[in-house]
């Protein structure tokens, strides 16, 4: 149509018709095209709506699917976690059970081993005790046999010395009586007096007139020590307190001191002082020393030691003669380190042992009752200071300076007065019983 319109001139009818047809066509085409486009747009909108609906459904479905999948995944994870936790708990429970079983087995094994070791130790201890007991028995038998032999030898030697001394004394007495008929040898007079008395309760036979008080050690010999106190000082304080009580209460009794100051006096000189003054009683005061836990008083008399401990005390007190000059000659060859020497001279003084023990028992009773001290009893051993005294004699160990409590007691004036008071009351009882009067 365009071509026709172009070919025919516009003045012709055909050309006008062509132009009209063309215009109509154009208008119709435009209308039809517009309608088609609208229809297409409508169709496209519907399709788009449907597409969008389908897409929305798909999206919703996918979202629901994803949500379901996520939920299933979470549930699966929770289930797996719960399963894992349960498995872990079961595993831990199994481990704990195994550990408990192992611990119980270990404890049972340890108890078994401990019981086995205890049985083995008990068996070993029992076997050791049996062997030790057997050895001790054998050693005791050997010691007893040796001690018995030593005692027998010592008795024979002592008997021979006593006979020799008796002969010498008899010869000396005869000479003295020939020169001075009225002189009476004091040692024999004392023995005869005690024998004639027969009983301590025979009235009118005897009067106790002289007592010798001996404070142990002194001077260069300080004795045993405590933390602050010295034996020589404590013994001297007790002896002086005892002497004052006797002098104040018994004016008829003469009190003689071996020392009243801090001076050194040889052991044989102490006995000589008692013998020269014809003493009726000899009292020596000392302080003790020993291992930790040792405490209490002891009262000693001359006699044969029955234990090694008794011998040890005698050896300690007798060792002071090592500080004296020419002690072997002065003490007839006595060696303070030899047990045989102690056995030998402990057999002397048999004439005075009964009264010595009686007086010692009274002192011990006073210490236990009125003074209230812990007592270790009356004991016997060979003390040089008691050896040559020709009268009843005792040695008092007032307590242990190595024990702090007893050191404080003995280093105090009140304690010294109490010890002296106990000895004084025992002396008063002994004197009254010996003279036949009632005890006060």
Q: For 257-288, what is each residue's pLDDT tens digit? A: 999 999 999 888 898 899 899 899 999 999 99
Contact 216/232 with Cβ under 8 angstroms? yes
**Spatial separation of the C-alpha atoms in residues 189 and 186, rounded to whole Å:** 5
**Spatial separation of the C-alpha atoms in residues 228 and 233, rounded to whole Å:** 11
Contact 401/288 with Cβ under 8 angstroms? yes
Of residues 84 and 395, more confidently modeled: 395
- 89-126, pLDDT tens digit by residue? 888 888 888 888 888 888 888 888 888 888 888 888 88
User: pTM for this structure?
Assistant: 0.51
The vertex-130 CA angle with 126 and 134, nearest 5°, equals: 170
Distances (CA, A) of 363 to 310, 357, 373: 19, 10, 11
Q: Is 182 exposed, middle or buried (0-12, 13-18, 19+ CB in 10 A)?
A: exposed
Tokens of 170: 């008899």
DSSP class per residue in 127-141: HHHHHHHHHHHHHHH
List domains and CATH numbers for the chain. Answer: 1-145 (no CATH), 184-435 (3.40.630.40)
pLDDT at 221 over 60: yes
Average per-residue pLDDT in the chain? 77
Q: How many CB atoms lie within 10 A of CB 201?
A: 14
Range with the poorest average pLDDT among 61-75, 176-190, 215-229: 176-190
- 385-419, pLDDT tens digit by residue? 777 777 899 999 999 999 999 999 999 999 999 99
């Amino acid at each position: 149509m365009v071509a026709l319109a172009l070919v025919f001139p516009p003045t012709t009818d055909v050309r006008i018709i062509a132009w009209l047809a063309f215009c109509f066509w154009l208008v119709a085409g435009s209308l039809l095209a517009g309608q088609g486009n609208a229809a297409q747009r409508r169709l496209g909108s519907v399709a788009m709506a449907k597409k969008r609906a389908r897409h929305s459904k798909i999206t919703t479905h996918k979202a629901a699917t994803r949500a379901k999948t996520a939920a299933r995944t979470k549930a699966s994870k929770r289930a797996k976690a719960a399963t894992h936790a349960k498995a872990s708990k079961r595993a831990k429970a199994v481990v704990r059970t195994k550990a408990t079983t192992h611990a119980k087995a270990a404890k049972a094994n340890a108890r078994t081993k401990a019981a086995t070791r205890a049985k083995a130790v008990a068996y070993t201890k029992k076997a050791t005790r049996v062997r030790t007991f057997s050895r001790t028995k054998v050693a005791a038998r050997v010691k007893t046999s040796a001690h018995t032999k030593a005692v027998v030898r010592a008795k024979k030697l002592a008997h021979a010395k006593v006979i020799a001394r008796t002969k010498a004394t008899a010869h000396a007495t005869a000479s003295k009586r020939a020169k001075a008929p009225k002189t009476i040898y004091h040692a024999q007079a004392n023995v005869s007096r005690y024998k004639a008395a027969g009983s301590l309760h025979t009235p009118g036979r005897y009067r106790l007139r002289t007592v010798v008080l001996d404070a142990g050690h002194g001077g260069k010999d300080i004795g045993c020590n405590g933390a602050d106190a010295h034996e020589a000082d404590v013994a001297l304080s007790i002896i002086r307190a005892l002497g004052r009580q006797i002098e104040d209460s018994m004016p008829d009794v003469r009190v003689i001191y071996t020392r009243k100051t801090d001076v050194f006096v040889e052991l044989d000189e102490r006995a000589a002082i008692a013998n020269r003054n014809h003493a009726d009683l000899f009292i020596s005061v000392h302080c003790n020393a020993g291992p930790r836990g040792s405490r209490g008083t002891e009262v000693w008399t001359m006699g044969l030691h029955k234990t090694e401990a008794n011998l040890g005390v005698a050896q300690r007190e007798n060792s002071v003669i090592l500080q004296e000059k020419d002690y072997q000659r002065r003490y007839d060859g006595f060696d303070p380190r030899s047990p045989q020497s102690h056995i030998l001279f402990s057999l002397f003084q048999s004439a005075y042992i009964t009264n010595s023990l009686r007086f010692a028992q009274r002192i011990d009773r006073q210490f236990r009752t009125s003074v209230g001290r812990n007592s270790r009893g009356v004991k016997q051993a060979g003390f040089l200071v008691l050896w040559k005294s020709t009268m009843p004699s005792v040695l008092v160990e007032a307590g242990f300076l190595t024990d702090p409590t007893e050191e404080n007691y003995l280093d105090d004036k009140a304690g010294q007065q109490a010890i002296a008071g106990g000895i004084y009351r025992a002396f008063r009882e002994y004197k009254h019983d010996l003279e036949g009067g009632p005890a006060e």
